[in-house]
Amino acid sequence: MTILQPAPAETTPIDPAVQADIDKFRDVLDQHLAGEIDDDVFRVFRLTNGIYGQRQGGTNQMVRVKVPYGSMTPAQLDMIGHLVESYSRGWGHITTRQNIQFHYVQLSQIPDVMQLLASVGLTTREACGDTIRNVQGCHLAGACPHEHLDITPWAEAAYRHFVRNPLGQRLPRKFKINFSGCETDCGQAMFNDAGVIATTRALPDGTTEAGFRIYIAGGLGTTPHPALALEEFTPKEELLPTIESILRVFDQTGNRENKLRARMKWVVEQLGFDETKRRILRTRRFLLASSSWPGGLPAEVEILGDAPAGIGAAADVTPIGQGTPVSIGGASPYERWSRSSVVRGIANGQVSAYAWARLGDITAAQFHALADIQREFDADVRLTHRQNVIYRGLDESDLPEFHRRLLEIDMAEAGAELVRDVVSCPGADTCNLAVTQSRGLAKAIGDKLEEEGLSEIGGLRINISGCPNSCGHHHTADIGFFGAERRVNGRSAPGYQMLLGGYVGQEQIWFGQKALRLPAKNAAEAAVRIVRRFADERSAGQPFRSWLDAAGGPSALADELRDLDHFPSFEDDPSFYTDYEETGPYEVEVGESECAT
């Protein structure tokens, strides 16, 4: 029997709306267990409350915790540590949408878990289901030398306006909102239903006005679609009305009969972009008449302010964004970490520093240690979409001791967010839709890069999904993989499709192009060969896409890897027919989708 540890004592008053959610969940769960509410109805209710069924079935549940724009407090980190230790399997996972999720929670324990989350200001509400998902934001917002605005209060205002909003409870499909503070787009607004990028425009009197450029209908999945600019410039006062208008048009026109064609990108395909834009702007024009009109400056912005961090005088400004060449030099581990995992250059001279979470996983002990470190350095903490943790508001003099503390908990690897930082979805470990163990491949690639001395190559990203749905964002990486079943020699075998050349940044997005299919066992070798050749051939500062074009493109590189697309017979090498971290022959077990991403 599991012995539950006492919960952390550092709590806050619970929001009445959150308490109402929890009380309702207890009541509905009791009715479901008594046979008064059928499985289909309870499933929709459960998902809307952020509770997702697992591949393992039965009463095993995944709990997805909504973390708006990735912002965490020490009490919240401590509480997650307590929950994964007491109710899960000892560790939690940062998702590519800045959530935290953990698995194997028993259904009967969910209300207690929700209650404990609420005691530190966290909720699972609308983290899953056909709702407005976690509002993402650049993890450097307010601490970036390149930003036009600090989007933090704007993301907070969007989260508060839309959570439990009647407009977003039973949408045709999920709806995703993302904020970036500048065109570098570290928040990755370019593949969201509503992507917001801060910008400026020159006024006739010679002054400059800060505002936003809003993109719509971006998406990944099996049919990726680039986000499209709704208008050149959206004033601050019209930001939330514009997002609400996009949501209203989606609610009115999204396909409710076919979930596979129900996202905002399919609305644009059905209506055309010009008609979609016309409806959104017309809705916004008359939104003033609605009781939900959210115009003007939100209270969050009035209270917190949104001034950009600014650039320090004679500052050593750290370049950021995908494709940024980073040199990880230095004689000591500290020097390499300081050069590759610290962001410098804002006006007040403070710095930000990454703590690396391998595969996005954090143990209970690490959660508690991260909370202690945050308290000790009085830092602001955000989760990143590449599944790491970043501490902001540090002084340069703090860094040696901060690094030492990270070393103690195995989170001080140099080059967080670079090539060693392979991103993966949970894969067939827990997901109903995954056909491969994507986490196993991510570990294999990381290990092989370390062995080959290639793990600290800058300007390169690797992402993996366990199926074509792109929860691991494989479309956007320099090197991407998604899992696929292979039928060879009369047997099923785990395989991957490799993609090359994905990119998000500078208000542009390119989706990776298919290169070749590979046995799962050979995918790590294929990745390492490409990384090695890129490291050997690129010119100083050359981005991967430019090098890829010069090398002949994905098809030319695929030709050089054809020897890896080979399955020996089962008798000659049965390991090709067993997936990573599995002990028996590979079998495809795909369950009913519960809309995991």
Confidence (pLDDT) at 1: 39
Shared domain for 298 and 161, answered yes or no, is yes
- DSSP letters of 462-530? EEEESSTT-TT-GGGSSEEEEEEEEEETTEEEEEEEEEE--EEETTEEEPPEEEEEEEHHHHHHHHHHH
Q: How far is the CA of 112 from the CAs of 37, 94, 321, 447, in angstroms?
A: 21, 22, 40, 38
pLDDT, mean of residues 269-281: 98
- Residue 264 and residue 248: Cα distance in Å, rounded? 11
pLDDT tens column, 66-97: 999 999 999 999 999 999 999 999 999 999 99
379 and 447, same structural domain? no
In the numeric block, the tokens 């009305």 are attached to: 241
358 and 381 share a domain?
Answer: yes
pLDDT at 5: 62
Answer whether residue 596 shows pLDDT above 50.
no
- Are 465 and 344 contained in the same domain? no
**Amino acid 541: pLDDT:** 83
Q: Measure the CA dihedral 154/160/161/165, to 10°.
A: 150
pLDDT category of residue 280 using cuts at 50, 70 and 90: very high
Whether residues 447 and 395 share a domain: the answer is: no
446 CB-near residues (< 8 Å, 6+ apart): 358, 359, 420, 422, 455
Query: For position 459, what pLDDT does the model report?
Result: 82
160-214 confidence digits (pLDDT tens) = 999 999 999 999 999 999 999 999 999 999 999 999 999 999 999 999 999 999 9
Please, which residues have CB within 8 angstroms of residue 454's CB and are 6 or more apart in sequence? 419, 528, 531, 532, 535
Render pLDDT for 91-118 as a digit per residue (tens, 0 to 9).
Answer: 999 999 999 999 999 999 999 999 999 9
CA torsion 333-338-340-345 (nearest 10°) is 180
Same domain (yes/no): 147, 293:
yes
Average pLDDT of the residues in 243-261: 96
Q: Which residues of 305-341 are buried (b: 16+ CB within 10 A; e: fewer)?
A: ebebbeebeeeeebbbbbbbebebeeeeebebbbbbb
Q: Does residue 318 belong to any structural domain of this protein?
A: no
Classify residue 183: in a domain, yes or no.
yes
pLDDT tens by residue, 355-379: 999 999 999 999 999 999 999 999 9
Q: Domain containing 341: what range? A: 333-408
What's the whole-number mean pLDDT along residues 444-459? 90
Length of the chain: 597
263 and 343: one domain? Answer: no
Average pLDDT over residues 137-148: 97
What mean pLDDT value characterizes the chain? 94
Residue 144 has pLDDT above 80, yes or no: yes
In-domain check, residue 390: yes
For residue 544, pLDDT beyond 70: yes
Q: Report the percent of the chain where pLDDT is more than 70.
A: 97
State whether 166 and 284 are in the same domain.
Answer: yes
The CATH number covering residue 404 comes to 3.90.480.10
Q: Which residue has the higher pLDDT, 402 or 430?
A: 402
Of 483, 510, 501, give the one whose Cα is nearest residue 553: 501
Phi-psi region of 334 (alpha: psi -120 to 50; beta: other; left: phi over 0): alpha
The answer to whether residue 319 is domain-embedded is no
* pLDDT higher than 80, residue 597: no
User: Residue 314's pLDDT is what?
Assistant: 67
Q: Are residues 484 and 533 in the same domain?
A: yes
Task: Give the CATH number of the domain where residue 533 resides.
Answer: 3.30.413.10
Cα radius of gyration (the chain): 23
Does 461 lie in the same domain as 402? no
- Do 401 and 436 sit in the same domain of this protein? no
Q: How many domains does the chain have?
A: 4
- For the stretch 44-67, pLDDT in tens is 999 999 999 998 888 999 999 999
Q: Does 326 score more than 70 pLDDT?
A: no
Q: Is residue 326 part of a domain?
A: no
* CATH code for the domain in which residue 42 is found: 3.90.480.20
- Neighbouring CB atoms inside 10 A of 352's CB total 25
